[in-house]
Homo-oligomer: A and B are copies of this chain.
Amino acid sequence: MRPPALRRCREARGNRRQGSSPGGSGAEADLHLRQKTLRLPKSGHLLPTCNGEITTMSFLQDVVDILLQYVVKSFDRSTKVIDFHYPNELLQEYNWELADQPQTLEEILLNCRTTLKYAIKTGHPRYFNQLSTGLDMVGLAADWLTSAANTNMFTYEIAPVFVLLEYVTLRKMREMVGWPGGCGDGIFSPDPPENLGLHHTRHLSVYQEPRTKSHFSVKKGAAALGIGTDSVILIRCDERGKMIPSDLERRIVEAKQKGFVPFLVSATAGTTVYGAFDPLIAIADICKKYKIWMHVDGAWGGGLLMSRKHKWKLNGIERANSVTWNPHKMMGVPLQCSALLVREEGLMQSCNQMHASYLFQQDKHYDLSYDTGDKALQCGRHVDVFKLWLMWRAKGTTGFEAQIDKCLELAEYLYNKIKNREGYEMVFDGKHTNVCFWYIPPSLRGMEDSEERTSRLMKPLGDKVNFFRMVISNPAATHQDIDFLIDEIERLGQDL
């Protein structure tokens, strides 16, 4: 049953809408103005101010109306993905400054509208730019609930349900990774997962020279953790971007001969650019042989674990000591939702706890294993799990599977469409989660590989000139959107 405050609010809103009908007389317009002022004064009239219920409900409902319009518009192909303006233009065109005096709530609503007008529509079916795209409706609902609950993940008593849902969800994810009974440890944390991975490793091993490759966060992590970027050794990859196990072994042996102690291999299951999956079984064999911690960065590709058709790409992940998996990427959970999974139970607590007894008191009357605060590197921790949990309930594992299969099927459709098409060159052959290609404008076709050709194809990335990297993680995308993309490239590239 709706509480009286809500009913009153609905009535107030009904009255307002009558009052604001266009074409009214002067007196009516005046009444409307007074009602408006009464209805939406300044934020000082919102809850927790006494009798602030009606103003609050009315204000929040207005915000929600703006958001719902935005959401519906986001999925409308006739709107632009972004109404792009240069930073300086936007800074000059509006007053964004923070002042001493408050604005009215009407102005706050206007701020919301303006912000959304220039925001990028991340749910738009043609928003392809990032690994995180799309806007899931249940995920959005869950995030709204998380905001309303506004709590912190560090103890059970202040996050009673959320801590349990994190427990249930992490166990399920570890099951999908293939660890028996879902045993192990883990955490949802926006910290750079490689940092966390490296951090937990270090407590186990003497180290000098980790063996790793590829994603820049490994170097960043090594720098932050005091290991030093010079201690990060890049392993050679084949032409599709997959780590070459024989090179890994060679470098390990070489390092040991120099007296270094290799302690971590960070394999990647779905690289950012090529979408390459390292050969995890071969890497696991090497890690076992030399007693090295095996970390799998499945930030991008982890989602494939939900697909019976595609999860073979991660075969061997069950032998990893730790796994990064970001459901905010391929699974389309709202940002952020990053998990670090660790095979050894109790490890995170023993690495990170600082026994801050004033925060994590031991004389409580419930099972303290649910106080997760001392497991994390950070102190406060946002509730990131609820979005994933609620989406998983709403879709089921099979729903996530269908979503991911569809994205990969679209990537394949794109690959097949352009691989023999005039004007296109593939960066590598074969199907991946990522489709990487060049479009060669008509004027450059047939031209020899020369400096002029290279400079006209834009700046280089490593030894290659810039290319298109298409990833499809947006559940809103269809075959027609892929066709549209190709048409646009050709339309815009025609005269280059």
Contact of A225 among B44, B71, B107, B225 (CB under 8 A): B225
Decide yes or no whether A338 CB sits under 8 A from chain B.
yes
Q: Report the separation of the CA atoms of residues A105 and B137 in the bound assembly, to the nearest whole angstrom.
A: 11
- Check if B164 sits within 8 Å of A90, measured CB to CB: yes
Compute how far the CA of A143 lies from the CA of B151 in the bound complex, rounded to whole angstroms: 13
In contact, B191 and A378 (Cβ under 8 angstroms)? yes
**Which of chain B's residues have a CB closer than 8 A to the CB of A67?**
144-145, 148
Which listed segment binds B: A357-365, A412-420, A446-454? A357-365
Q: A148-B135, A362-B459 are in contact. Are A120 and B87 (CB under 8 A)?
A: no
**Beta-carbon contact of B105 and A334 below 8 Å:** no
CB pair B140 A147 closer than 8 Å: yes
Q: A90-B161, A160-B119 are in contact. Are A399 and B367 (CB under 8 A)?
A: no
Q: Are A102 and B395 in contact (CB under 8 A)?
A: yes
Q: Least Cβ distance of A170 to chain B in Å?
A: 11
Beta-carbon contact of B150 and A135 below 8 Å: yes
Complex CA–CA separation, A377 to B72 (angstroms): 35
Nearest CB in chain B: distance from A268 CB, A? 13
* A27 proximity list for chain B (CB < 8 A): none
> Could you mark each residue 5-48 of chain A with 1 if its beta carbon is under 8 Å from any beta carbon of chain B, else 0?
11000000000000000000000000000000000001110111
| In-complex Cβ contact of A69 among B2, B114, B191 (8 A) | B2
- How many of chain A's residues have a CB under 8 angstroms from any CB in B? 151
Which chain B residues lie closer than 8 Å to A362 at the CB level?
A: 459
* Interface assignment of A289: CB less than 8 Å from any CB of chain B: no
Instruction: Report yes or no: B394 in contact with A102, Cβ–Cβ below 8 A.
Output: yes
Q: Which chain B positions have C-beta within 8 A of A48?
A: 75, 123, 125, 134, 475-476
A208, CB-defined interface residue at 8 Å: no
Structural contact, A60 and B116, CB atoms closer than 8 A:
no
In the assembly, what is the distance between CA of A378 and CA of B195, in Å? 9
Asked if A192 and B145 sit within 8 Å, CB to CB, the answer is no
How many copies the complex holds: the figure is: 2
Residues 361 to 387 of chain A near chain B (Cβ within 8 Å): 361-363, 366-367, 370, 377-382, 386
- Quick check: A160 and B90 within 8 Å, CB to CB? yes
- Give the interface centre of A122, A138, A195, A399 by most chain B CB atoms within 10 Å: A138
CB atoms of A335 and B96 under 8 A apart: no
Task: Give A221's nearest chain B residue, CB to CB.
Answer: B377
Q: Contact check, A119 vs B161: say whether CB atoms are below 8 A apart.
A: yes
| Shortest beta-carbon distance from A212 to chain B in Å | 13
- Closest-CB distance, A491 to chain B (whole angstroms): 20
Q: Considering the complex of A and B, which 7 residue pairs feature the smallest CB-CB distances, nearest first?
A: A226-B226, A48-B476, A216-B356, A143-B147, A43-B394, A102-B396, A46-B137
Q: List 22 A-B contacts (CB under 8 A).
A: A2-B65, A43-B391, A44-B399, A48-B134, A52-B137, A63-B141, A67-B144, A71-B148, A90-B164, A98-B172, A108-B393, A115-B149, A115-B162, A132-B150, A147-B147, A190-B382, A191-B377, A273-B358, A335-B380, A336-B380, A336-B381, A363-B459
